[in-house]
Amino acid sequence: MSAGTIILSSLRQHALSTWIAAVSLALAAGLLTSIWCIKDQSRAAFENSGAGFDAILAARGSKLQIALNSLFHLDESTGNINWSDYEQIRSNAAVQLAVPFAVGDSYEGYRIVGTLTNFITDVEYRRGQRFEMQSGRVFDQTLREAVVGSFVADRLGLKVGDHFHPAHGVGREAHDHDDEYLVVGILKPSNTPADRAIYIPVEGLQLMSGHDPKTAEQISAVLIKFKANSALVGRQLDNLYNKEGSRLTLVWPIGFVLAQLFERIGWFDRALTLVAGIVALVAIGTILASIYNTMSARRRDIAILRAIGASRSRIVTWIVLEAATIGLIGVVLGLVVHVALMAGAASLLRAQTGVVLNPFEWHPILVVAPISLLALSALAGFAPALKAYCTDVAANLTPLS
Amino acid sequence: MALLEVRNLVKRYRSPDGEEQEVVRVAEFNLNAGEELAIRGESGSGKTTFLQLISGILRADSGSIVLSGEDLTQLSEQERDARRARQIGFIFQSFNLLQAFKTSMNVELPIMLAGGSDRARATALLQRVGLTHRADHFPRQLSSGQQQRVAIARALANKPALVLADEPTGSLDARNATETLKLIREVCRENGAALLLVSHDAATLSEFERVIDFAAINRPQQESATR
């Protein structure tokens, strides 16, 4: 027989309050760790989501809006730019790759991007990783053909050989064009926003029935990759387009611009952390209350233990360990809650932005939070332990009436 | 040879309204090793307090309690706890078993508190009191008589030199009382433990050769002082 047996027997006797306290702590621990991990993982994912590009050129407007629209298919385009702007940047000696994007249409809520085949064949979206076809082939630039991102194909059940009518606009106000497109390829999952878009030839989008004829020579943005020394080239182009010009906006560096998104929603992040902190404190309070409330009923047991030779310090130790055990159950369950919350958030974020989170990715908070909560749980045990310490043995050994 | 020697023992209580009242004043009391002694006393006469003083649960206001050659009144509370765990077994009127623990654990617990680990001893004691088949039951699943038998096994767990029994048959019917008393005396004898039993029950007391009246040895001063 060990102290562990005594503690577990005692917890079993108050099983309901033990589980309530442990589950509340698990929710608090899971919430606390997942908020931290979601925040840091999504921030890292967004900041590194330049999709292999160094800069974006688009119509004058908010840099963050341009980045969100061009890279994540979120928000609205800032407007159109001329095809000649694309030609000009493409011919810049410092530019290795320039990819035009034309947006504004959708299918079943998923954005359609008019582009060139080089987006699919030449872009290295991560070091050493290029887009690959899961099935089919890249569209023919001269035909009404489409390549579908893996997530869209999966959600809409699209496969090579299917036909669809793009809709003008995005969202509920979208209405179908007459043009019919043939799915000729499905992309392999890349865990990038490309998974949740449909790619068609840029001319196709420009010349879509019902579009303003003016758009025939226009695109929404150009995604740019520099050859080398991107800092120097970026500064030169930043001067050219942002400071000297007034018609276009160059988004550079992309990661810096995307970081602004997190600065803007920093208040939300702080509020969530505060809520998680409060939940954790409430959970610790629950542990304290759950043991403290049993102390009156346990006075006789404590007196008996003292009468058969248990010292006060031993009983204090047991009660503190009892609180720590509830804490331990809570933080272990908290890891399950953490993975569940992370999986839920990852699924949501992937569906909305294409950014992928890893529910099992290591983060220091996964050690710091459980250890802190465990220590706080043990600390919470000191209040009931003090009550036990002061139990009047003689008075509580009297015969039961 | 004296196992227990009590000299000029005094214990006072203060009531909630501030009155201090002396409940124990025992000039001299001796108990030899392996001896059986019953103390007769009415409810409220201070005999339970006397046992709690001897066991070290309560600290005496003055006097000495020498157990196996060591004066308990000179020890710290923690030292008294340790002596109690090793040298004294306690049997209560209302059994005082721990409800969260199984029968076997109730008997093993004092062994653990004394720093040991002897499951075989606990098993043997349960067998001795006839409750081997109830080892995995919780106290609430046992009858009153069975619960007191578990308490007897618990009291003997550490082979104590002294067993204190406070009205051990007070919550039992006549048949169970007789059997329980017989069992207490037998296991104490088998283990070489002295037995000091207090009771106000004539039938219980009649079983003992040596019975003393608590009123004869306990003479608290009647004056009370309001502070």
Nearest CA in chain A to B105: A1
Kindly indicate the confidence band of residue A173, based on its pLDDT and cuts at 50, 70 and 90. Answer: low
Q: Is A197 helix (H, G, I), strand (E, B) or coil?
A: strand
Give contacts of A313 with chain B, Cβ < 8 Å. 78
Distance of alpha carbon A144 from alpha carbon A146, whole angstroms: 7
For residue B160, the Cα-to-chain-centroid distance in whole angstroms is 11
Interior/surface letters B65-89, b for 16+ CB within 10 angstroms, e for the rest: bbbeeeebbebeeeebbbbbbbbbb
3-state SS string for chain B: CEEEEEEEEEEEEECCCCEEEEEEEEEEEEEECCCEEEEECCCCCCHHHHHHHHHCCCCCCEEEEEECCEEHHHCCHHHHHHHHHHHEEEECCCCCCCCCCCHHHHHHHHHHHCCCCCHHHHHHHHHHCCCHHHCCCCHHHCCHHHHHHHHHHHHCCCCCCEEEEECCCCCCCHHHHHHHHHHHHHHHHHHCCEEEEEECCHHHHCCCCCEEEHHHHECCCCCCEEC
CATH 3.40.50.300 describes domain B34-60+76-216 = yes
User: pLDDT 10s digit of each residue in chain B, 227 long?
Assistant: 789 999 999 999 888 788 888 999 999 999 999 999 999 988 888 899 999 999 999 999 999 999 999 999 999 999 999 999 999 999 988 889 999 899 999 999 999 888 887 788 899 999 999 899 999 999 999 999 999 999 999 999 989 999 999 999 888 888 888 888 999 999 899 989 999 999 988 989 999 999 999 999 999 886 544 44
H runs (alpha helix) in A243-265: 254-264
Distance from CA of B57 to the nearest CA of A (A): 7
Report CB contact under 8 Å: A311, B82. Answer: yes
Give contacts of B77 with chain A, Cβ < 8 Å. 311-312
Kindly indicate the confidence band of residue A333, based on its pLDDT and cuts at 50, 70 and 90. Answer: very high
Would you mind telling me the total number of residues written for chain B in this entry?
A: 227
Distance of alpha carbon B35 from alpha carbon B93, whole angstroms: 21
Domain extents for chain B?
34-60+76-216
Give contacts of A398 with chain B, Cβ < 8 Å. 48
Nearest to A311 among B78, B90, B112 (CB): B78
Nearest to A1 among B81, B94, B105 (CB): B105
pLDDT at A48: 66
Distance from CA of B78 to the nearest CA of A (A): 6
pLDDT at A400: 58
Average pLDDT over every residue of A392-397: 85
Would an 8 Å CB–CB cutoff place A176 in contact with chain B?
A: no
Say which range, A43-47, A72-76, A250-254, B172-176, has the weakest mean pLDDT.
Answer: A43-47
C-alpha atoms less than 13 angstroms from C-alpha of A98 in its C-beta half-sphere: 19
Gyration radius of chain B's alpha carbons: 18
Would an 8 Å CB–CB cutoff place A383 in contact with chain B?
A: no
pLDDT at A171: 65
Report CB contact under 8 Å: A6, B108. Answer: no
Would an 8 Å CB–CB cutoff place A2 in contact with chain B?
A: yes
Report CB contact under 8 Å: A1, B49. Answer: no
Would an 8 Å CB–CB cutoff place A301 in contact with chain B?
A: yes
Give contacts of A297 with chain B, Cβ < 8 Å. none
pLDDT at B226: 43
Q: pLDDT (tens digit, 9 = 90+) per residue, A15-55?
A: 998 999 899 999 989 998 998 898 888 877 777 666 678 89
Nearest CA in chain A to B77: A311
